[in-house]
């Protein structure tokens, strides 16, 4: 089976779906790896390192014409979908609930489509969970990015000129990204608070040293797969009231809240930003899905009322080497579970297959 690795064409995307180490692992399993020329350069993997691992360096056209499986990170663009051949298998992030038209276009080409963002969150699929591996890095980078824009340091520092008090960090959302943000901010010496609509995250946040701000609802707000549900206006008002004191006192705020298949909830509105400290920084990690902050803009830093609001999209790409290594390992675990060197199993009775196989031979299964 020939696996073709495409170069990412999305603006500001530096990751690559397969690294030289993982290419070598695939080849040892009997697969062939065909890599589009220079696909790994932005992640610091040159063509020579792939050739040394046994991969074949080719032009993009050869991948569409000759490989069995096409892999990349971001969803296929229209000009890539046009080049697909009937019977090929495509494995990428798809976000099918947000972009059903992409699924339809791919189905029209008579191919098979697996979505790496649809991996079920079960224990035996943890080593395939791309969203978790990439969110881990994003949570770390959000804190570093926020620190770069702050006018204060994180830790308590005692000097001959006086004592500097530690910075206060507030994190909305205690998922994978939020937990890594908590851990990173604590390691840097900040005082950290966190909040989430899911009460069971309280213990996780506190285990990393954060104070958890609870919002009393009388019910457990967990949806299938561990994602938060969309919340009522009444709940969001209660959360706003519970968190406001900490928000107005924070030096750095990081928002990570996403709802699967829907626009991100707005958690911080303009009237709240007006009451924050001058010099405070907000990093909106959900800006690409609509944003948790009313004034945030994709890939812009907005400064208003003395507060800097950073809307950086695709944070994992800013750590392209590590992000590629993790994605590639997730992909390797997924493909070697789904297929041997000759063919895919397409076992729809199997939970991971059933969750990720969106299109089979041109037929949409979702």
List residues with catalytic annotation.
121, 126, 129, 132, 227
> Which contiguous run of DSSP H or E holds residue 70?
strand 69-71
Calculate ∠ Cα 6-9-15, nearest 5°: 70
Question: Rounded to whole angstroms, how far apart are CA atoms 265 and 267?
Answer: 6
What length does the chain have? 366
Residue 84, CA atoms < 13 Å, CB-side half-sphere: 27
Q: What does the block give as tokens for 280?
A: 């405070």
Structure tokens belonging to residue 42: 């932005």
Reduce the secondary structure of 99-152 to three states and give it as a string.
CHHHHHHHHCCCCEEEEHHHCCCCHHHHHHCHHHHHHHHHHHHHHHHHHHHCCC
CB burial of 168-206 (b: ≥16 within 10 Å; e: otherwise) equals bbbbbbbbbbbbbbbbbbbebebbbbbbbbbbebbebbe
Give every strand in the sheet of 363-364, ordered side by side. 56-58, 32-36, 2-5, 69-71, 89-92, 112-115, 357-360, 363-364
346: region left, alpha or beta (phi > 0 left; psi from -120 to 50 alpha): left
């Amino acid at each position: 089976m020939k696996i073709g690795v495409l170069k990412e064409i999305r603006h500001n995307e530096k990751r690559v779906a397969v690294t030289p180490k993982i290419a070598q692992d695939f080849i040892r399993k009997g697969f062939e790896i065909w890599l589009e020329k220079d696909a790994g350069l932005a992640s610091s993997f040159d063509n020579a390192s792939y050739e040394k691992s046994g991969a074949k360096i080719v032009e993009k056209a050869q991948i569409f014409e000759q490989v069995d499986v096409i892999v990349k990170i971001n969803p296929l663009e229209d000009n890539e979908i046009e080049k697909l051949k009937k019977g090929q298998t495509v494995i990428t992030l798809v976000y099918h609930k947000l972009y059903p038209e992409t699924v339809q276009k791919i189905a029209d080409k008579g191919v098979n489509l697996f979505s790496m963002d649809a991996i079920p969150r079960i224990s035996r699929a943890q080593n395939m969970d791309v969203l978790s591996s990439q969110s881990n890095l994003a949570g770390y980078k959000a804190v570093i990015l926020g620190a770069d824009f702050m006018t204060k340091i994180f830790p308590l520092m005692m000097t001959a000129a006086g004592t500097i008090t530690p910075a206060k960090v507030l994190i909305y959302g205690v998922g994978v990204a939020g937990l890594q943000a908590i851990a990173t901010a604590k390691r840097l010496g900040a005082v950290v608070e966190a909040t989430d609509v899911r009460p069971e995250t309280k213990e996780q946040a506190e285990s990393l040293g954060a104070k958890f701000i609870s919002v009393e609802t009388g019910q457990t707000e967990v949806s299938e797969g561990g994602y938060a549900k969309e919340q009522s206006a009444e709940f969001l008002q209660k959360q706003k009231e519970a968190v406001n004191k900490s928000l107005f006192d924070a030096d750095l705020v990081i928002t990570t809240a996403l709802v699967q298949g829907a626009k991100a909830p707005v958690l911080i509105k303009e009237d709240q930003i007006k009451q924050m400290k001058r010099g405070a920084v907000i990093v909106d990690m959900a800006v690409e899905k609509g944003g948790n902050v009313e004034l945030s803009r994709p890939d812009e830093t907005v400064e208003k009322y003395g507060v800097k609001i950073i809307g950086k999209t695709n944070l994992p790409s800013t750590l392209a080497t590590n992000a590629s290594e993790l994605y590639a390992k997730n992909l390797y675990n997924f493909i070697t579970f789904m297929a041997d060197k000759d063919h895919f199993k397409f076992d729809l009775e199997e939970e991971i297959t059933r969750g990720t196989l969106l299109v089979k031979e041109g037929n949409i299964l979702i």
